[in-house]
Amino acid sequence: MQKRIYGIETEYGIIFTPEGRKTLPVEKAIRFLFEKLITTEHFLNVFLENGARFYQDTGCHPEYATPECAAPGQLVIYDKAGERILEDLQIYAEEKIREERIPGKLSIFKNNTDFVGNSYGCHENYLVDRDVDFYYLAEQLIPFLVTRQIYTGAGKVFQTQDGIHYCVSQRAQHIYQKISGTTTNDRSIINTRDEPHADREKYRRLHVIVGDSNMSEYTNFIKVGTCSVVLQMIEDNYINKDFTLRNPVKAIKDITYDASCKRKIRLDNGREYSPIEIQREYCEMAQKYIEQYPVTDDHKKAVIMWQYVLDCLDTDPNKLDRQIDWIIKRKLIQSWVDRHKTDWSDPRVLMLDLQYHDIRRERSLYYLLERKGAVERLFTDEEVDAAKSTPPQDTRARMRGEFIKLARENSIQYDLDWSNIRLGNLLNVRVICNNPFETDTEKVAELVRTIQKTNLRKTSLSKLVIQS
């Protein structure tokens, strides 16, 4: 598929740190995040003006799902916009909590683990053609997904019995299966959840749950861009080599422990390759593929970056200390450790790791580097800010976003999911949009006009009330 829908769901870590004796359990703290949002939808589950969804997920994590995006670059912008939206909500929530006379700090982290073994995910979604055999697709994709962490990992300071170890990926240790149907226990590389939110005859959803949440725009872009190219190659039957791993779950853990990225892992056919070598094979195929097949500009960019990143990993990974999350963070911590003449077992090192991922920019170490120009950006603040309130113009999200604006302006009662809009006092008017590429906003505007004409009693959109 050349035209594809992309989406990322990010679960955030959240903690309230009281400054006095009074504290707030996280189940209550998280509710304050929703207080600024105005909607008639269910509490703790809201669609936003940019077409994204924001809700409370399993384990009391705030979760942001990007709107349907039509390109990897666009997706990275909307994922970043989610951080900004959450930052706004967090600042507002912190004030509100203070007004309740519970002084303290509400912190939100875009990472995937705490330090005692709990994990929360970052799920990539790719719309794929129903005609392609899913298990074939998954098997072909798994060796790629297992080894890609060398340039998509967000890095993690890991405490073991033997001391501190710096891992490439946040998520890798929490993967126990190749393919499975659950996401909370027995987490897998690929999840079989098949909710395309589109015509089921034509499409299915590929739900990749092995990835790390990325702070770096560069890392995030290359993560989605390369995966998307590989996906397209599989769909076109272009991959003519077999990288089936003997034990992908073991391999993913071995790779995350090996910051050299050069330790060999065993293939099913008995041969041994390093993750860099396997990635190089995919990358070389992709280079030929983009010469022969029609691909988007984002795909071409991704392949150029891919080769550059692999070259650096091969010769000197530290060259990527502006581009790749796990290397940026490692460099940051190492410099700090050197400065303080301490070592990695210093308890503050874990805090450095965590605070890299803080979404509040004034507290975040990633954003400190960004302000200093010490990380490479692909997009501008203007682009990210615009994406907070404007939906992508080339997917169904445009209709949803426009609708939400109109419904609010006209005080119309509504309820939404990805492919349905329900409106009117009884929510008895329903619009179904099964085509995620549909952008006909006039249809939506007409509907709103119809509702106005039928003279339905206007309901006022009441602000949500927090129950404490």
Partner 1 sequence: MATFIRDPKTLGTHRQVDAQADPMPFYLAAGEQKQKNKGGGGDDGDGEKGEGGQKLAEKGDELKEEMDELLDEIDNVLEENAEEFVKNYVQRGGE
Residues labelled as active-site residues: 57
**What is the smallest separation between the CB atom of 185 and partner 1, expressed in angstroms?**
8
Contact 461, 418 (CB under 8 A): no
Phi, psi of 280 (to 5 degrees): -60, -40
Q: How far apart are CA 201 and CA 232, in angstroms?
A: 19
Q: Residue 241 class from Cβ within 10 Å (0-12 exposed, 13-18 middle, 19+ buried)? A: exposed
Phi, psi of 62 (to 5 degrees): -70, 135
Q: CA-CA distances (angstroms) from residue 291 to 61, 79, 138, 211, 245?
A: 43, 30, 25, 28, 28
**What is the smallest separation between the CB atom of 190 and partner 1, expressed in angstroms?**
14
Which stretches of 150-286 are assigned E, i.e. beta strand? Answer: 156-160, 163-167, 177-180, 188-191, 203-208, 265-266, 272-273
* Residues engaged in binding partner 1 (CB under 8 A): 11, 13-15, 17, 57-61, 63, 113-116, 118-121, 123, 183-185, 209, 218, 300-301, 304-305, 308-309, 311, 316, 318-319, 321-322, 328, 331-332, 335-336, 339, 347-348, 350-352, 354-355, 362-363, 365, 368-369, 372-374, 376, 378
**What is the smallest separation between the CB atom of 201 and partner 1, expressed in angstroms?**
27
Contact 121, 171 (CB under 8 A): yes
Instruction: Closer to partner 1 by CB, 370 or 402: give it.
Output: 370
Instruction: Closer to partner 1 by CB, 113 or 395: give it.
Output: 113
Instruction: Closer to partner 1 by CB, 253 or 299: give it.
Output: 299
At position 130, the amino acid (one-letter code) is: R
The encoded tokens of residue 118 equal 């709990």
**What is the smallest separation between the CB atom of 58 and partner 1, expressed in angstroms?**
6
Instruction: Closer to partner 1 by CB, 90 or 439: give it.
Output: 90
Instruction: Closer to partner 1 by CB, 174 or 197: give it.
Output: 174
Q: CA-CA distances (angstroms) from residue 451 to 425, 441, 460?
A: 10, 16, 15
Q: How far apart are CA 383 and CA 64, in angstroms?
A: 18
**What is the smallest separation between the CB atom of 463 and partner 1, expressed in angstroms?**
28
Max intra-chain CA distance, the chain: 73
Q: How far apart are CA 237 and CA 260, in angstroms?
A: 32
Please list the alpha-helical segments (H only) found in 148-186: 149-152
Instruction: Closer to partner 1 by CB, 245 or 332: give it.
Output: 332
